Structure 1
Amino acid sequence: MAQTTESESRKLLGRLRDALAEDSAGQARLDRIVQLIAASMETEVCSIYLFRDADTLELCATEGLKPEAVHQTRMRLGEGLVGRVARQAKAINTADAPATKGFRYMPETGEEAYSSFLGIPIQRLGETLGVLVVQSREARQYSDDEVYALEVVAMVLAEMTELGAFTGEGAALSARHQHPVMIRGGVGQEGTAEGNVWLHEPRVVVTNPIAEDPDRETERLTTAVEELRAKVDEMLTASAMSDKEQRAVLETYRMFAHSRGWMQRMCEDIKLGLSAEAAVEKEQSAARARLQNAPDAYMRERMSDLDDLSRRLLRILTGQGRETGAEMPPKPILVARNIGPGELLDYGRSLRGIVLEQGSVGSHAAVVARALAIPLIIRADHITTEALNGDPILLDGEQGIVHLRPEDNIMAAFRDKMAMQAKAQERYADLRDKPATTLCGATIGLTMNAGLMADLPSLENSGAEGVGLFRTELQFLARSNVPRRGDLAALYSRVLDAAHGKPVTFRTLDIGSDKVLPYMKRPEEPNPALGWRAIRVGLDKKGIMRMQLQALIRAANGRPLRVMFPFIAQFDEFREARQHLLDEIERERKLGHVLPEQLEIGAMLETPSLAFAPRQFFEMADFISIGGNDLKQFFFAADRENERVRRRYDTLNVSFLTLIETVANRCAEADTPVSFCGEDAGRPVEALCFAAMGLRSLSMRPASIGPVKHLLRRVDLNEARAVIDDARESGAQSVRPAVTEWLSKALAQG
């Protein structure tokens, strides 16, 4: 085989460009490409395997193997040497293929005559699209130059696959980004939505992977990199007053931007025939492949820095991106890998829904989505590579399902479902001003959760009797530095104004776990959900707590004030936090400021330990709110971010309901009001069971108040309690089946 040189590589890429430019079907192009590669590299065999689905590779073109094997030979991901290359996204280069671990003999191909094997992943931005293989009879390993040259060719194939060069009549592949796709993810915020894709980071499309003039491409790359470095330096200058942690991150960012190795590798790619854009993407894909499997967590995290740098550089080179002035489509549904709270708040209520590849139920994005009442689906794998701006998309936030480019029957069924929900909301609107009084005469107070000023109009529209939980962390999360006391006081005052006298319960800063302030150093913790968070941060960082408490007192300006401390695990934590608030009240009195007309101090019960706190805790607290989301995960030792375990445990499990009953009874003995706050409070059957266990107040998202009220007004809690008790005594694990059966009969008779 001839030694691969720069000129030979460019000649091969030039021939590939000509082949791709020919007016021929996708299969003919693939057939021509394998012939050109085999001839250029002087190998007996060249084959292209492409993914038919997420787990199956198919032989789509070959020069040297039996032609009848094309589109007949298939293998699973990880099966055979080709499957190993695809799974590991790494090249396999061996002189004796049959003796290499994982080899699979496929008699229909006739490949038993060939000893040497070189397989290169065809990948784009971390997504493996297939495998490019060359084989020869001679038992030899391919040189580093030959491997590198084939990687460059694979990069071009990846780009052309993305552009649809191998589709059409008689094509080897179906056109990408045209067929319906269903993706299952996790529920970050319930709700349904129909709209069109709006990519937060639009994908840069490289339309010119092959270039004729290396000197010109190198000059283009150098100019773009200089511009990129200047922008990074500007970011560093602008952050001169930032804390050390933030500046350290930017310094790492700058180090990557000024990496000589990065620049050198891209210049070498250009010498072999790639355009500047293709060289950037090739190195981005190679870096992702290296860092994804790095044992060092720090290095894996740096992958996002490299991705961001590459995207910025590609936008400079191509002029593509959000800054080009593209208009957001009608009914936009945001699609992103991940997104910060500030960026999401910038979009505001213009969005119909959000889909993220990453994220968690307690992440910044989830907090903002709940505040905006926007359906959110998280952990939707590959959504950013599957979706294009403007694509029709459906979000089923009840099931955690995304339908991208849905078929007509799916669209029709989904619209029917949304129409039924809209009709039900109209029915619930008639109940807006009526109390949630059951047939047995018990009245359940229904309040709403909020976190933004934009939430407050829902207070009147939903029929909520007040704000049972106002999350105060959003104002901290969406900023690059600590908000000022005066700004917070002004905001809290506007919240009270908008409530028009209805009670508002302010929860103090609840950060930690996966809600991390950008300007606060995040400790390395093996399990952040059980770590330094919420009240633990407040008691350790007393300056921030004092500032927020002062802002709340001043915002009240003589009006009633309700303050609730989060994540209390033992009596002493509540006693200390409460004393801090009383101290600030005394300080404000000495300063001559107006004090709240009435002050109520409560706690969120989110840990099982607090249910068994001393009696004095229940007597000291003016009110208690059960934080159902955290309480359930700690009670069952089931991480609510882990789909494999969280769904194993039912909210209506008899043990959990017994815990709720215990808290309700202890609060009743101390004459302390108690409510349930969380997603489960907004589910009608769960709300009914909580009321039957003795709770007389529930706090939920505004859209859930109508359905919950509608059910409560049609049932007798005494009958429901009898059904629950019978189920518990029978040894049932959950009361759900019994309650559901009773409800269907009771409502049918009613």
Structure 2
Amino acid sequence: MLSKLNELEKTFTVQDDTYHESLTIEGISFSGGVGVGEIVLHQPRSWSHFRSSNSTSYERDRLRLAIREMMESIDDMVKDHVTSAHRDPQEILETYKTFAADRGWIKKIQAQIQTGLTAEAAVDAVRRESRDKYAQIGNKYLKGHLADLEDLANRLIAHLTGEDFPQKDLPSDMILIAHQMGPAELLDYDQRNLRGVILEEGIHTSHMAIVARAMGIPVVGRIHNLLLNLKLGQKIIVDGEEGTITLNPDPIQIEEAQKKSLTFSKWKTELKALANLPTETKDGMLIHLQLNAGLMIDLQYIHDSKVEGIGLYRTEIPFMMHSKFPDVEVQAQLYADVLDHAKGKPVVFRTLDLGGDKIVPYMWRVTDENPAMGWRAIRVSLDRPALLKQQLRALIQAASDRDLNVMFPLITTAEEYLRAKKFLNEEMERAKSKSEIMPKNVRVGLMVETPSIVWELDQIASEVDFISLGTNDLFQFFFACDRTNPNLAHRYDVLSLGYLRFLRLILNQAEVYKIPLSVCGEMVRNPLEILALMGIGYRSFSMNVSSIPAIKRLVRNTNLSDFKAYMENALGTSKGSLREGLKKFATENGLLPPHLL
């Protein structure tokens, strides 16, 4: 990466200064807001020292000293963000510090030193090993945390080499350009001068993106081949609302971006005022909001955001972070920690959703022609019952006189659900026979992610305590559309007439059988789509924390009785997608600001 940046710098210095053409490039928004500034290339630390050493004891001592110095510097960084306004960065850095002190990581470095490597080379070797391991994992959620590992390794190497940071003589209005970044790397820069960040890679759930949102720094990612289109010193606009960047903006574009930035600042102030208010419509209808989670760092938001609980805890994420299969004891401690953090608020544990794009290096690997429709989720668990039974045993032990909510993923037939629940019942009987402390209450549910199970709900209605609608898979299976295929990305719309009618049918089925129903997935990130779901009768949603403020504002501005009448008419008369009509309704009734439509 560094050599690439150095080559680009040489190229930039000889480019023609008369280049003035404006260019807008689409990416993905990781953090809202709008910034205008001068391009600064983020350069990861480098080293060119000897790779071998004649004294392993000397290198171990150097490593020990560098780790201590690094921990002290992270402590200083944490102290700098102990204000309430910066609580998210503080919490994330505490987690980052814990990871930095992980004995497993340090032992791997020490083992490399024992082979004759210098401390720097040992850190680099472990970094490469971790990079290769993460490259085998298809799940983007975990790949987003690779930047944390890179950040940590770079930081430790800098302490070993005595390299100074940050870069000197930076402009007062800078836009950082990077391939990827970790959270601490972002905070190395002077926040007073940082106007935005643009990444070639990354995901919106990464720690860096969470910190950026907390700091109010706009971030746009997934701008592929970004570095080939840049020129040092040129102005650039980062639009975290639209998910775009504009190179060489003209004066009119800069003025519009500055106005938009001011509007966004006012919007953020308005959202903060809603934090402690109930999620209730103008006509008194209560809407239930819960969080999606998969790592301990996610659980801090369960109380800060005033949500009702964790509507989806992805148990496979910790499995994918381990280097070997976690046994019952390890799993039980993890799930108990989750329940402890929830402090009595409900947590819905989804059993392992492995396979497809979620691969763990210590388990079997299956090559499917179409992974999304292949051997994954509950199919893996039912074919490997020991795997499922160990997890259920751990969940039962973790609950220990507390409520336990278990949800099975990708259920396509009633028979699959009944088989999975049978395993749970067997584990409950086993725990009783051993006089273990039992859960206070056990609720069992399933994810509706395929159309087929909708037609069999009558077969299992008496056995199901709740349902969660997984809109990501349900959407792609409804339209027979691979949602990762760029050629199909905009062909089908979740606000199409047929899909909304199908979602209403599912809701009607749940109401007939008196089964509580919630919705999770990408669909509930967008306020306009939440509006449509409320209009057809949905009242419970589970989402990422970043979506909650805008959703709460939408709910509190909506007269649901009026909107339900609008939706009823639209579902009976419209053709194709309802999106444009919904945008018009939302605009005319002041439900959403223009940047969220």
* Alpha-carbon spacing, 1:720–1:604, altered in 2? closer, same or farther (3 Å): same
Which of 567, 574, 589 is equivalent to 1:724?
567
Say which of 694, 697, 707 aligns to 2:540.
697
Quick one: which amino acid aligns to residue 580 of structure 2? P
Match of 2:122 in 1: none
- Is the contact between residue 200 and residue 335 of structure 1 (CA under 8 Å) also seen in structure 2? yes
Output one character per residue of 1:280-313: Cα deviation in whole Å (capped at 9) or x when no partner. xxxxxxxxxxxxxxxxxx9xxxxxxxxxxxxx9x
Number of the residue aligned with 1:145: none
Q: 1:184 and 2:31 equivalent?
A: no
Q: Residues 243-293 of structure 1: CA distance to partner in whole angstroms, max 9, x if unpaired?
A: xxxxxxx9xx99xxxxxxxxxxxxxxxxxxxxxxxxxxxxxxxxxxxxxxx
- Counterpart CA distance in 1 for 2:418 and 2:240 is 40
Instruction: State the aligned residue count.
Output: 486
Q: CA deviation at 1:177?
A: 13
Q: Alpha carbon RMSD of aligned pairs, Å?
A: 4.8
Change (3 A) 1:386 1:666: same
Alpha-carbon spacing, 1:745–1:498, altered in 2? closer, same or farther (3 Å): same
Query: 1:202 touches 1:322 (CA, 8 Å); kept in 2?
Result: no
Residue 601 of structure 1 and its aligned partner are, at CA, apart by 1.1
Partner of 1:217: none
The yes-or-no answer on 1:712 pairing with 2:559 is no
List per-residue Cα deviations over 1:402-435 (Å, max 9, x = no partner).
Answer: 4679888767755654554443333233333333
Name 2:353's counterpart in structure 1. Answer: 510
1:739 corresponds to which of 566, 572, 582: 582
- Tell me, yes or no, if the aligned pair for 2:283 and 2:559 is still in contact at 8 Å: yes
Separation of aligned partners in 2, 1:159 and 1:454 = 36
2:165 maps to which of 313, 322, 327 = 327
Partner of 2:328: 485
Asked if 1:593 corresponds to 2:436, the answer is: yes
Aligned partner of 2:74 in structure 1 is none
Deviation at 1:600, TM superposition (A): 0.9
- Kept in 2, the 8 Å contact 1:177–1:388? The answer is no
Query: 1:672: how far off?
Result: 0.5
Match runs of 1:150-169 below 5 Å: 163-164=10-11, 167=14
Q: Which has the higher contact order (CA 8 A, sep 6+)?
A: 2
Partner Cα distance (1:590, 1:334) in 2: 60
Q: 1:193 to 1:582 in 2, by over 3 A?
A: farther
Q: Is the 8 A contact 2:31 2:209 kept in 1?
A: no
**8 Å CA contact 1:368, 1:474 repeated in 2:** no
Q: Pick closer, same or farther for the CA change 1:178–1:439 going to 2, 3 Å.
A: closer
Instruction: Identify the residue that residue 602 of structure 1 maps to in structure 2.
Output: 445
Contact 1:177 1:386 in 2 (8 A): no
SS at match of 2:445: strand
Q: Is the 8 A contact 1:355 1:377 kept in 2?
A: yes
Q: Show the counterpart of 1:581.
A: 424
Q: Choose the corresponding residue for 2:394, options 546, 551, 554.
A: 551
For residue 680 of structure 1, the aligned residue among 506, 523, 535 is: 523
TM-score (norm 2): 0.67
Q: Conserved in 2, the CA contact under 8 Å of 1:553 and 1:561?
A: yes
Write out per-residue CA displacement over residues 7-60 of structure 1, whole angstroms, 9 at most, x where no aligned residue: xxxxxxxxxxxxxxxxxxxxxxxxxxxxxxxxxxxxxxxxxxxxxxxxxxxxxx
Segments of structure 2 that go 5 or more residues without pairing to the other structure are 55-107, 113-124, 130-135, 137-149, 214-218, 592-597
- 2:513 corresponds to which residue? 670
**1:492: Cα distance to partner?**
2.2
Structure 1 residue 394 displacement after superposition: 6.5
For residues 461 and 22 of structure 2, the distance between their equivalents in structure 1, rounded to whole angstroms, comes to 55
Name the CA shift for 1:510/1:328 in 2 (closer, same or farther; >3 Å). farther
Cα distance in 1 for partners of 2:581, 2:207 equals: 34
Q: Secondary structure, in 3 states, of the residue corresponding to 1:713?
A: helix
Structure with greater Cα Rg:
1
Change in CA separation of 1:409 and 1:566 when aligned onto 2, cut-off 3 Å: farther
- For the 8 Å contact 1:201–1:336, the answer to whether it is kept is no
Structure 1 residues 358 and 323, CA, compared in 2 at 3 Å: closer, same or farther?
farther
Q: 2:468 aligns with which of 608, 617, 625?
A: 625
In 2, distance between residues paired with 1:518 and 1:358?
Answer: 23
Q: CA deviation at 1:725?
A: 2.5
Identity %: 32
Counterpart code for 2:165: E
Q: Does 1:537 align with 2:375?
A: no
SS of 1:533's equivalent?
coil
Q: Tell me the distance in 2 between the aligned counterparts of 1:485 and 1:190.
A: 38
Question: 1:695 is matched by which residue type in structure 2?
Answer: Y
| CA pair 552-162 structure 1, distance change in 2 beyond 3 A | same
Could you tell me whether the CA contact under 8 Å between 2:464 and 2:515 is conserved in 1? Answer: yes
**Matched residues in 1 for 2:588 and 2:465: separation?**
40
Q: Matched residue of 1:625: which SS?
A: strand
2:481 alignment partner AA: A
User: For residues 531 and 373 of structure 1, what CA distance do their matches in structure 2 show?
Assistant: 36
- CA 1:348 to 1:693, structure 2 compared with 1: closer, same or farther past 3 Å? farther
Q: Distance in 2 between matches of 1:354 and 1:578?
A: 47
Change (3 A) 1:366 1:559: same
Question: Which residue of 168, 171, 174 maps to 2:16?
Answer: 174
The CA deviation at 1:461 is 2.5
Q: Does 1:475 align with 2:318?
A: yes
